[in-house]
Amino acid sequence: MADLKTNFLGIESPNPFWLASAPPTDKEYNVRRAFEAGWGGVVWKTLGAEGPPIVNVNGPRYGAIHGADRRLLGLNNIELITDRPLEINLEEIARVKADYPDRAVIVSIMVPCEEAAWKAILPRVAETGADGIELNFGCPHGMSERGMGSAVGQVPEYIEMVTRWCKTHYDKPVIVKLTPNITDIRHPARAAKNGGADAVSLINTISSITSVNLDNFSPEPSIDGKGSHGGYCGPAVKPIAMNMVAEIARDPETRGLPISGIGGVTTWRDAAEFMALGCGTVQVCTAAMTYGFRVVQEMASGLSQWMDEKGYTSVDAFIGRAVPNVTDWQYLNLNYVAKARIDQEACIKCGRCYAACEDTSHQAIWMKEGRVFEVNDAECVACNLCVDVCPVEACITMERLQPGTTDPRTGRVVQEEYASWTTHPNNPMARAAE
Amino acid sequence: MAQGQMAPGIVAGRLSSDELAANFDDLHPAYAPHEAAVAADRCYFCYDAPCQAACPTDIDIPMFIRQIQTGHPEAAARTIFEQNILGGMCARVCPTETLCEEACVREAAEGKPVEIGRLQRYATDTLMRGGVHPFTRAAPTGKTVAVVGAGPAGLSCAHRLAMLGHDVVIHEAREKAGGLNEFGIAAYKATQNFAAAEVDWLLQIGGIVIETSSALGRTITLEGLRDAYDAVFLSIGLAGVNALRAAGEDKDGVIDAVEFIAALRQADDLSALPVGRNVVVIGGGMTAIDAAVQSKLLGAENVTVAYRRSREEMGASRFEQDLAASKGVKLMFNVQPVAVHGNGSAVEIELEYTSSAGGTLKGTGETIRLAADQVFKAIGQSLAGAPEGLALEGRKIRVEGPGRTSVPGVWAGGDCASGGDDLTVTAVAEGRDAAMDIHAQLSA
Ligand SMILES: Cc1cc2nc3c(=O)[nH]c(=O)nc-3n(C[C@H](O)[C@H](O)[C@H](O)COP(=O)(O)OP(=O)(O)OC[C@H]3O[C@@H](n4cnc5c(N)ncnc54)[C@H](O)[C@@H]3O)c2cc1C
Ligand SMILES: Cc1cc2nc3c(=O)[nH]c(=O)nc-3n(C[C@H](O)[C@H](O)[C@H](O)COP(=O)(O)O)c2cc1C
Ligand code: SF4
Ligand code: SF4
Ligand code: SF4
């Protein structure tokens, strides 16, 4: 079994699976059980400043989106940072870290945007022996209205400023957790880097309303007939999170900045994908909240098996391997011509590919006598919709037309060499590029 | 005290009332809402869905399952009833394993179809529980139609005609409507008097009068009906029973399976219903299986179905065969009755082994005797009491297209008419289609 040992910013953990700052890491009891179950590290539930703790609502705080069989696809919450006294959290962190020296313990912090506030809390966090801190600039509800959380994360200048204060008053690694509730993730990432951040972690939750009660017209979760936008997470947000991770990984200004990937990690495969896009560790919240701490065991065994199969002996061997393949649309090879192929043996004849293509796309699937579904190469643009709607995995595949063959749709011979939009005759800018 | 399985002869009360109640409980229990939600989630909403093509009444199955999925079982029921007004009964009695569920793509994919029948029951039960009828009658047309026979074909035809505004009189020979829904279907498929409740619910459409004890050939004639009504629909089922042609057929204890089942279905108290200790059922269709299983459930010790051909040729589906086997019924293949022995009452049945070489069935000469104090004949029903002057095809009333007989103004459907399987759902489809054709002619 491949070794999953991870070294992120000099912080070692037996595997790259960390619990994200959230209810699973809100107290000693949870974190001890998480470590016993096998989690490599935790980011402790976000601490606030000294004084009376924040309060949470006393009604429901989660909403959800379900797939078939009520599989939880997306979770939304209106919970705030920890509602337990700072003192107690710090004592617990110190005890847990002392008992689990081989696990990563990161402390998430969110205090007002004043240097004094950070200066006050950081030495106390340092005393716990925790391995580093994560700055929560992400929480999209409640805290942002008080000038914290995503209110800071949406202003790159604030990120840079607060990060710098932390680097000044704390000497272990500083991770800046980014909010996805912005238009271009590269700006806050650059700001974090400029402020001296050792790493960024992303994404925090996405502002969302999961549903509306059609009896009383309240958004859900409903508190006495009213609802508030919450933060969305879980499998549904993974594609958004991975794009943001990739943008940072390939941005010339932030390239090489360590990243801890968060958002919808549920299986070993999700973790491997985030890591291939440049993440040194991944953080998990919803999967643990849905299935309990034991899910990490599948993540670890699955990742390890895949590494064995690929011959990777350490996680560093594949971290970032997908980053060079993330490019801009304009550079995609227009001479790569594919056609959908239906495996008649695997096909169960549901006709969904046909409905999708016939009703909404290119009329490129024939429905023949006896419910035989076949692709008409003369119409197929290789859009992949049929592949995506087919209920049988790998029943429809995309196959490349070999160079030299004629594409029956365009009548043109497929060319061997690469050619993209940058040089395409229809591109008004193409000539300028010459 | 219950008599027990070993009590000799044909006796009542072999099992306690509790045992009987448990034995005759729903074969496929109704879904709870959570089960329905899980089952509905499995549907792929197929294009031109193969399940729908396999349903004789052409119910829009993907649509009704989607309506269940989105929390509207009553709307789902309406989708079902638009095609099949007896969708409640069909949900209970259709051999789905050879109809819609056999065609379901998830049967091909995983050997586990979407449970369409039980979902259909969930939807129709939900709507019917409210007592509401989902359709309203069109303005009266002033036209009148006679329907002969109040089985599924007749009820379906009558409902559709009434809905379209025609006035319908159903002439039913028995004292009660429902046909085989009421007198034939196995008790554990239509529990809690569902057949009668369904008829009452169906009649809420209005415009239908049922005249019971009104038998064609006895109290009424086809000529009379043709004179009195604008159209006639014949749905008299198969009232005759085929003869065994074995020696000793007239001995006590040898009876028609359908008669036994009818008595069982009408019994208020199953513990008062006599059944043999050693029961042999002759036949290989649904009736044979139902008679055998219900004998076993009543407490018979040994129950054997003796079928003259091979398992593959048996009319009853593999599911029905397995059901019988699971209840302890023994299935014998390639045996035919030669004689019933006994002094006045049946004691033994003598069966001869058969072989079917080149398609023709022949006795091998080798025989076997089974103890048999009760022998049920289930070798098929036949048309009886069809009016003179109607062309036949095989042994049924010949029909063309949507149930047109050889006589103008007379339609026929269900078991008595040529074509189609002898199934409840087929009868419903044929009744509905004939109604649409009658309506078209009456409106022309
Ligand atoms: C024992 C048994 C079990 C079955 N189990 C199933 C099952 O599980 N699933 C399934 O799909 N199918 C089953 N079937 C078949 C199904 O019951 C029939 O196909 C269906 O009932 C046919 O409907 P119908 O309206 O044509 O005839 P019937 O249901 O037979 O109705 C005919 C009606 O006409 C009346 N009638 C007859 N003669 C006259 C007359 N001269 N004048 C006036 N009225 C008359 C009869 O009294 C009866 O009410 C079973 C059949 C039997 C016998
Ligand atoms: C109930 C709940 C509370 C959360 N609280 C915090 C928090 O206090 N601090 C923080 O940085 N992130 C918080 N998050 C965000 C998670 O750490 C994580 O970024 C997000 O859920 C995406 O990961 P996932 O898809 O694995 O759940 C919270 C998430 C949830 C569901
Ligand atoms: S979607 Fe897939 S399984 Fe369904 S018909 Fe098309 S190829 Fe076959
Ligand atoms: S009526 Fe019968 S065959 Fe048609 S969908 Fe319902 S259960 Fe299936
Ligand atoms: S074939 Fe099966 S999966 Fe497809 S629509 Fe019918 S019930 Fe649903």
User: What would the pLDDT profile of B196-234 be if each residue is shown by its tens digit?
Assistant: 999 999 999 999 999 999 999 999 999 999 999 999 999
Tokens 């459409």 map to which residue? B205
In angstroms, the CA B118 to CA B123 distance is 9
Which pair of structure tokens corresponds to residue B140?
């009266």
Strand bridging mode A11-13 / A259-262:
unpaired
**Nearest CB to B108; choose among A348, A352, A354:** A348
Of A75, A77, A104, A91, the closest CA to residue A16 belongs to A104
Residue nearest to atom 2 of ligand 3 (CA): A390
Task: Give the count of beta carbons closer than 10 Å to the beta carbon of residue B399.
Answer: 25
Which has the closest alpha carbon to A142: A225, A81, A205, A76? Answer: A81
CATH code for the domain of B174: 3.50.50.60
User: pLDDT tens digits, residue range A81-127?
Assistant: 999 999 999 999 999 999 999 999 999 999 998 999 999 999 999 99
Ligand number nearest to the C-alpha of A177: 2
User: Which of A347, A348, A389 would you mutate first to test chain B, the one with the most B CBs within 10 A?
Assistant: A348
The answer to whether residue A432 scores a pLDDT higher than 60 is no
- The whole-chain average pLDDT of chain A stands at 95
Q: In angstroms, rounded to a whole number, what is the distance separating the alpha carbons of residues B59 and B244?
A: 39
- For residue range A165-218, what is the model confidence (pLDDT) as tens digits? 999 999 999 999 999 999 999 999 999 999 999 999 999 999 999 999 999 999
Delimit the CATH 3.20.20.70 region(s) of chain A.
6-325
Q: Report which of A127, A117, A105 is spatially closest to residue A25, judged by C-alpha positions.
A: A105
Q: Is the pLDDT of residue B307 over 70?
A: yes
**If you write DSSP's letter for every residue of B278-345 in order, what string do you get?**
EEEEE--SHHHHHHHHHHHHHT-SEEEEE-SS-GGG-SS-HHHHHHHHHTT-EEE-SEEEEEEESSSB
The total number of structural domains in chain B stands at 3
Report the pocket of ligand 3 as residue ranges, CB < 6 Å.
A 342, 347-353, 373, 390, 392, 395-396
pLDDT tier for residue B42 given thresholds of 50, 70 and 90: very high
Nearest to B334 by CA among B291, B360, B359, B363: B363
B301 lies in the same domain as B371: yes
Model confidence pLDDT, tens digit, residues A416-425: 999 999 999 9
B86 in helix, strand or coil? coil
Contact A392 B109 (CB under 8 A): yes
Strand partners, B367: B352
In the prediction, which pLDDT does A139 show? 67
Percent of chain B residues past pLDDT 90, beyond the cut = 93
Chain B residues in contact with A349 (beta carbon < 8 A) = 50, 105, 108
Give strand pairing partners of A232: A76, A206
Among candidate residues B19, A160, A235, A151, the one with its CA nearest the CA of residue A176: A160
Domain A6-325 in this protein, CATH class: alpha beta
B94 and B196 inside one domain:
no
Q: How many residues does chain B have?
A: 444
Considering the domain architecture, whether residues B365 and B273 belong to the same structural domain is answered as: yes
Q: Does the C-beta of B162 come closer than 6 Å to ligand 5?
A: no
Q: Which residues contact A218 (CB under 8 A, 6 or more apart)?
A: A212, A225, A226, A227
Q: Do B72 and B197 belong together in one domain? A: no
Decide if pLDDT at A386 tops 60. yes
| B167 is a domain residue | yes
Instruction: Name the percent of chain A lying above pLDDT 90.
Output: 92
Ligand 5 neighbourhood includes B110 CB (under 6 angstroms): no
Mean residue pLDDT of chain B comes to 96
Pocket test for ligand 1, best of B156, B191, B236 (most atoms within 8 A of CB): B236
pLDDT at A23 over 90: yes
Residue B413: is its pLDDT beyond 60? yes
> Which tokens is B360 given?
């023709």
Q: Answer yes or no: is pLDDT of B423 > 80.
A: yes
> Would you call A392 and B47 a contact, using CB atoms and an 8 Å cutoff?
no
Give per-residue pLDDT as tens, B168-197.
999 999 999 999 999 999 999 999 999 999
* Same domain for B278 and B231: no
- Residue B109 is nearest to which of A70, A348, A352, comparing CB atoms? A348
Residue A337 has pLDDT above 90, yes or no: yes
pLDDT digit string, tens, across residues B11-25: 999 999 999 999 999
Q: Which residues of B touch A345 (CB under 8 A)?
A: none
B51 and chain A: CB distance < 8 Å anywhere? no
> To test ligand 3's pocket by mutation, which of A357, A380, A395 has the most ligand atoms within 8 angstroms of CB?
A395
**Distance between A370 CA and the closest CA of chain B, angstroms:** 10
Please say whether the beta carbons of B162 and B205 come within 8 A.
yes
State the pLDDT at residue B244.
85
Domain interval for residue B303: 242-377
Ligand 1 within 6 A of B199 CB? no
What's the pLDDT score for residue A431?
Answer: 60
Domain A329-433: which CATH number of 3.10.129.10, 3.40.50.720, 3.30.70.20, 3.90.1570.10:
3.30.70.20
CA distances from B97 to B25, B38, B55, B228, B325 (A): 21, 20, 11, 43, 17
- What percent of chain A has a predicted confidence (pLDDT) above 70? 99
Are B270 and B232 within one domain?
no
What pLDDT, on the 0 to 100 scale, is given for residue A401? 97
Helix axes A268-276, A238-250, angle to 10 degrees: 20
Are residues B215 and B166 part of one domain? yes
CATH at residue B110 = 1.10.1060.10
Q: What is the pLDDT of residue A434?
A: 44
Give the confidence band of A144 by pLDDT, cuts at 50, 70, 90.
confident
Which residues in A lie closer than 8 A to residue B42 (C-beta atoms)?
Answer: 68
- Is residue B91 in contact with ligand 4, taking CB distance under 6 Å? yes
Please work out whether the CB of residue B185 comes within 6 Å of at least one atom of ligand 5: no
The CA–CA distances, whole Å, from A263 to A92, A282, B145, B391 equal 27, 9, 68, 74
Q: Is B160 exposed, middle or buried (0-12, 13-18, 19+ CB in 10 A)?
A: buried
Mean pLDDT, range A362-372, rounded to an integer: 97
The answer to whether the CB of B39 is under 6 A from ligand 5 is no
The residues pairing with B282 across neighbouring beta strands, listed in sequence order, are B306, B377
What is the pLDDT at residue B243? 84
Q: How confident is the model at residue A433 (pLDDT cuts 50, 70, 90)?
A: very low
From B130, B160, B185, give the residue that closes a domain.
B130
pLDDT at B385: 86
pLDDT (0 to 100) of residue B366: 96
pTM: predicted TM-score of the whole model, two decimal places: 0.90
Instruction: Report if residue B3 sits inside a domain.
Output: no
Same-domain check for residues B250 and B307? yes
What Rg value do the Cα atoms of chain B yield, rounded?
Answer: 22
The stretch B405-432 carries a mean pLDDT of 96
Joined tokens for residue B46: 């197929």
> Which ipTM value was assigned to this complex?
0.83
Beta carbons of B47 and A69 less than 8 Å apart: no
- Atom 38 of ligand 1, residue of closest alpha carbon: B236
